[in-house]
Amino acid sequence: MASVGIRDVKKSFGATPIIHGVNIDIQDGEFVILVGPSGCGKSTLLRMIAGLENITAGDIMIGDRVVNNVPPKERDIAMVFQNYALYPHMTVADNMAFSMKLRGAPKDEIKTRVDKAAKILSLSPLLERYPRQLSGGQRQRVAMGRAIVRDPQVFLFDEPLSNLDAKLRVQMRTEIKELHQRLKTTTVYVTHDQIEAMTMADKIVVMHDGIVEQIGAPLELYDRPANLFVAGFIGSPAMNFIKGKIDGSGFHADGGFNLPIAGAPAGSSGKSAVYGLRPEAIRLDGAGLEARVHVVEPMGSETQVVADIGGQNITCVFRERIQAKPGEVIRVSPDAKLTHLFDGDSGKRMAA
């Protein structure tokens, strides 16, 4: 096991810069998730850690060794690919044993290691099958098994669950998390699914267009997003943004209504700002704002309502079951303690 350091790493493909200086520190044994919209450079960063892509500038360290010019096989990392990349002509057992065979490990050691990994992943009955004869989830587990057998310093996962159906994905999420708690191997995991990130990570790195927007624990990102991008990316359904001005100890929306805030930073009165309101921070309140209902989506445990407040569509999530029909008016008010304020120009979080 080892820590991973990423220092001012940049990457260009030809003349096109893709990653513009990224700094991430990953502690020994940590489960870190890189998350961000498609094309933001997550896979590229992961492949640079693996050594499959060379580094344009900066340093990548594994342990305290700079590995910029260390070939992949000497980095002691294992990677699970998005398409699993299982060798189709090898059985499950051979797939898992391949790296050890190449290293010339003794047969019985290979067997014990493969058997142990198979047991951890409940693959034992499938060892003689070929990848074609496996379901998607089983293949995914074989891909993980191949990584476990190596007993590497660092696990790298590139969207390993994106090919699975919703239910299996939830199940595998738990399994990967459990596996990590058991093996305690430093893990870097790429996904564009923020729910995966929230549920699995010790630490989330939010990336956007080749830069890091924020690094932090899942709830930290949820409670204190550093800027509009993170605020909009983390949390589902996404945060509502309302443009307006800070007005003394309140917020005056451009739509002509007032919203409560937890507290304005000193000397900010009159400045333009963006009011961030999570759907789940909105309560039904007989004395609240008028909201004209557009869409009601009962989800079972909660009800999601899209309603028009002062000319802007706001998504709300209520624990209560509400019977409102489209066109009706309900009254709601935000929970002032759970609101966010962002600078109108820079989009940065305004300290309360």
Ligand X SMILES: Nc1ncnc2c1ncn2[C@@H]1O[C@H](COP(=O)(O)OP(=O)(O)OP(=O)(O)O)[C@@H](O)[C@H]1O
Strands 16-26 and 31-35: unpaired
The tally of CA atoms less than 13 A away on the side-chain side of residue 258 is: 6
Q: Is 257 an interacting residue with respect to other proteins (CB under 8 A)?
A: no
Q: Is 50 an interacting residue with respect to other proteins (CB under 8 A)?
A: yes
To other proteins, the closest distance from the beta carbon of 137 in angstroms equals 12
Among 14, 88, 267, 327, binds other proteins (CB under 8 A): 88
Separation of alpha carbons 277 and 297, rounded Å: 19
- Judged by beta carbon, residue 36 or residue 216, the one nearer ligand X is 36
Contact 212, 224 (CB under 8 A): no
Binders of ligand X: how many residues, by CB under 6 A?
11
| Token code pair at residue 304 | 């999601």
Among 22, 31, 41, 229, binds ligand X (CB under 6 A): 41
Residue of 267, 257, 251 lying closest to 342 (CA atoms): 251
To other proteins, the closest distance from the beta carbon of 155 in angstroms equals 11
| Token code pair at residue 108 | 């019985």
To other proteins, the closest distance from the beta carbon of 73 in angstroms equals 4
| Token code pair at residue 254 | 């451009």
To Mg ion, the closest distance from the beta carbon of 156 in angstroms equals 12
Name beta bridge partners: 342: 274, 349
Q: Is 43 an interacting residue with respect to Mg ion (CB under 5 A)?
A: yes
Q: Is 130 an interacting residue with respect to other proteins (CB under 8 A)?
A: yes
| Token code pair at residue 312 | 């802007």
Q: Is 192 an interacting residue with respect to ligand X (CB under 6 A)?
A: yes
To other proteins, the closest distance from the beta carbon of 164 in angstroms equals 12
Instruction: Return the exposure string of 76-97: e unless at least 16 CB atoms fall within 10 Å of the residue's CB, then b.
Output: bbbbbeeebebeeeebbbbbbb
Q: Is 55 an interacting residue with respect to ligand X (CB under 6 A)?
A: no
Separation of alpha carbons 32 and 24, rounded Å: 10
Among 52, 219, 295, 351, binds other proteins (CB under 8 A): 52
- Binding-site ranges for other proteins (CB under 8 A): 50-52, 72-73, 77-79, 81, 83, 85, 87-90, 98-99, 102-103, 130-133, 136, 146, 150
